[in-house]
Amino acid sequence: MMSTGTGGLASRWLLLAACLAFFVGLSATPLIDLDEGAFTAATQEMFARGDFLATYLNGEPRYDKPILIYWLQAAAAALMGLSEFSLRLPSALMGLASVLFAWHFARRLFDAETAAFAALVAATAMGPALVARLAIADALLDACLAAAVFWQYLWLREGRARDLFIAWAAMGAGFLAKGPVAVVLPLAALFLHCATSGRWREFLVFVTRPRAWLLWAALALPWYVAVTWVKGPGFVESFFLRHNVGRFSGAMGSPHAYGLFYYLPVALLVSLPYTGLLLGVVKRWRRLWRDDFARYALILFALVFVLFSLSANKLPHYLLYGTAALWVLLGRELREARSPWLLLPALLMFVGALFVPDLLEGLRKQANPYYQTMLVDLDAHFGLGYRLPLLGAALLVAVLMVERRLAVPVKLAATGVVAVFCLSLVFLPAVGGVLQQPVKQAGLIAREIDAPLVMSGINTPSFGVYAGRVVERRAPRAGDVVLTRADRLAELPPHELLYRSKTIALVRIVK
């Protein structure tokens, strides 16, 4: 077994590798529709329209999210050019920021070694690792939530006014990133924590500081006021009523209306390869409840778990809104880990990923003709270049389970670092290649054609990003270059086929 000092040194080197991994492979995967495609196409349309106040998609107002992520993506694109790397860079930076926040928080609460392990969990758990590699708003929101929940707890613990203002600034930025959730969740967690510990006065002080509200308002509200003044009330009405109240209540008729227990398996998956530590925390929650910080982390996680389990609209990454403090708690647990069986979830993760192509092949044989066509080239993306790294990772974990010299915390953290590199360089490129490579190729072909671009019978907004132009969704007209599903070509007017691959076809309507 390694000494504590050697383990601490190893954890620091592993943390450095994990931090560098945020920027590895950002261009290895095509933009994935719908979410990445919609965010990045809206950012591109800001440049095309010369309008950086409001977002549009396919030439129509986009009311889904506030402006901050689009501004960050636009800034990266302005500096580096519009590319997969630049569009994903803000998410990677926000993922790294969340890790640094976790390290700073754990360093103030505990010690340097615990802080390194807490940051490692925050960097290499599969949930945050995935969203930090996607060009969507959630890594940004997660960073804002992490800062809010960390610094409001530090204020509660130490009473420093600076911590209070940092927490409120984070909630202001989060409100500009994704709306009310960035304020409701931290304050609700603080309220419940103070209620369970009889510290009502501290909560009332926290929420009644006028200068804190002014700071929050100065960050959060100017854009909402400006977009309403210039564009009218459409954004504010649609965003708050439809995309917040409507999503929670089910008024939107969401396709993501899964069952009440949906987040149970999600919790096991997003915490990989540290699922064993999470199960240990759940098993010992009564004892941990007596620890002030552990109670705070459990309250925040349980609050999000229950709240979104009751929501009519469920997506896996919603659970991450309650995990910032949980990763620190798992980092503290990781430092004390002794059982090599805690590596079993990591082994199952790599073995499971190894057989993903076999699962997809089985599904292909039973799917409808459209999906059979989409999955027809599995071998091209899930060949030896996919299987060998995952096989090597699985064998490494198996060896670490029986090896006796290295400390279990270092072993488990090392598997996490290996996992994020496999995610970035092996798993996501293979999945993205199957789903998106034809759309990307069609967009690159369309980029060279001087004609109006249209999507008909399909919704893949990343096409516009690769084409470098605004794409309309409407009925095709003579002279248009049209992206459509290959099985709907017969529905189009007379046309010339420009490109066809699997389920995607690019055609020019004959004049």
Can you give 448-509 as a three-state secondary structure string? CCCCCEEEECCCCCHHHHHHCCCCEECCCCCCCEEEEEHHHHHHCCCEEEEEEECCEEEEEE
Q: Is residue 22 part of a domain?
A: no
The amino acid at residue 270 is V
Q: Is residue 218 part of a domain?
A: yes
Asked if 390 and 404 count as a contact pair (C-beta separation under 8 A), the reply is no
Same domain, 46 and 169: yes
Same domain, 100 and 234: yes
The amino acid at residue 301 is F
b/e sequence 232-268, b meaning 16+ C-beta within 10 Å: eeebeebbeeebbebbbeeebebeeebeeebbeebbe
Domain boundary residue among 285, 316, 336? 336
DSSP H stretches of helix in 159-241: 161-178, 181-197, 200-207, 210-231, 234-237
Task: State residue 2's pLDDT score.
Answer: 41
Pairing of strands 60-61, 472-473: unpaired
Name the residue among 13, 21, 16, 140 with its Cα closest to residue 419.
21
Q: Is residue 6 part of a domain?
A: no
DSSP assigned state of 206:
H
**Which domain covers residue 417, as residue numbers?**
343-444
Same domain, 150 and 237: yes
Q: Is residue 419 part of a domain?
A: yes
**Structure-token match 């800034």, residue found:** 75
Same domain, 147 and 221: yes
DSSP assigned state of 31:
P
Same domain, 208 and 330: yes
Same domain, 461 and 411: no
Which residues are CB-contacts of 195 (< 8 A; sequence separation ≥ 6)?
Answer: 203
What number of residues does the chain have?
511
Domain boundary residue among 336, 355, 375? 336
Distance CA 21, CA 43 (A): 25
Name the residue among 58, 223, 123 with its Cα closest to residue 49.
58
- Tell me how many domains the chain contains: 3
Same domain, 500 and 420: no
Task: State residue 368's pLDDT score.
Answer: 77
Same domain, 421 and 380: yes
Q: Is residue 24 part of a domain?
A: no
Task: State residue 369's pLDDT score.
Answer: 82
Q: Is residue 490 part of a domain?
A: yes
Task: Print pLDDT tens along the chain (511 aa).
Answer: 344 454 577 888 999 999 999 999 999 999 999 899 999 999 999 999 999 999 999 988 888 889 999 999 999 999 999 999 999 999 999 999 999 999 999 999 999 999 999 999 999 999 999 999 999 999 999 999 999 999 999 999 999 999 999 999 999 999 999 999 999 999 999 999 999 999 999 999 999 999 999 999 999 999 999 999 998 887 777 766 565 554 555 544 455 557 789 999 999 999 999 999 999 999 999 999 999 999 999 999 999 999 999 987 889 999 999 999 999 999 999 999 999 999 999 999 999 999 999 999 888 888 778 888 888 889 999 999 999 999 999 999 999 999 999 999 999 999 999 999 999 999 999 999 999 999 999 999 999 999 999 999 999 999 999 999 999 999 999 999 999 999 999 999 999 999 999 999 999 999 7
Distance CA 274, CA 117 (A): 12
Distance CA 334, CA 117 (A): 7
- How many CB atoms neighbour CB 90 within 10 A? 26
Domain boundary residue among 421, 444, 467? 444
Residue 312: both structure tokens together: 């009519």
Same domain, 322 and 384: no
φ, ψ for residue 338 (rounded to 5)? -130, -25
Name the residue among 237, 243, 241, 213 with its Cα closest to residue 224.
237
Same domain, 126 and 187: yes
**Structure-token match 């459209």, residue found:** 370
Q: Is residue 11 part of a domain?
A: no
Name the residue among 129, 227, 132, 105 with its Cα closest to residue 176.
227
**Structure-token match 């009473």, residue found:** 159
- How many CB atoms neighbour CB 298 within 10 A? 21
Residue 226: both structure tokens together: 């400006």
Q: Which pTM was predicted?
A: 0.94
Asked if 435 and 429 count as a contact pair (C-beta separation under 8 A), the reply is no
Same domain, 363 and 468: no
Q: Is residue 26 part of a domain?
A: no
Residue 395: both structure tokens together: 């064998």
CA distances from 194 to 37, 110, 112 (A): 42, 21, 28
Name the residue among 186, 165, 180 with its Cα closest to residue 221.
180
Same domain, 277 and 331: yes
